[in-house]
Structure 1
């Protein structure tokens, strides 16, 4: 794990697995970018910026310590053999950017998204978590490909 104070980010390298609520991400590298520190949201009352940063940096590895980070994760960038599971949806790509506040995941690099047997591929896939919908974009080298299976009426018997 590497913390970059200038980028207000933490980088995890090497077979990384991250979870949030019902979503899980696996990748070779995951970078978590935090909201700006000292923006009034971090909840560090009574501490001066410089002093709070030093103390927070020492506590960053302890449970519950916010450290020098902002109070919330702004976005997560996953790179290298990315795999995603969110509810009943599964996806894979080479690069994924998750904007936490918006609930939007952008998948690039040969992305594929599966919902059961149904599959979509394209140049870029945007998955809107809160709305449970996806947008598949074509590129100059790739068309959108979608395979949908009809549910069998007698499958539940």
Structure 2
């Protein structure tokens, strides 16, 4: 039913009419116009409403193809590693190796990927899940290693 905006309520106009614009009395009583009592029609004419608004009611919801979502990667630039090295030491993600190189575990620090912006001055062994091509080049130029975990 479409509603028309009015200045006054429609019920004031329909006060003496007995049926209030619904035609027969049964059209505004009980379950005849609402599609049945209670959950009647849940597997019939209310099916799309149930699957859209209450998807777990029948234990399955709407079935079909779901687009795979890309996992969000937490990345860091090479230059930023140099800047936050003290914070990483406090987290326990930096160790000094016997050969004099710093070992930086970025997975422990909460990073997934190393990007190539910036430079590192000292040789480091950097552990991460992924490295960009430029980052690999710059790490090797500084005399370090990139370890994929």
- The normalised TM-score by structure 1 is 0.21
TM-score (norm 2): 0.22
Higher helix fraction (1 or 2): 2
> Which structure is higher in strand share?
1
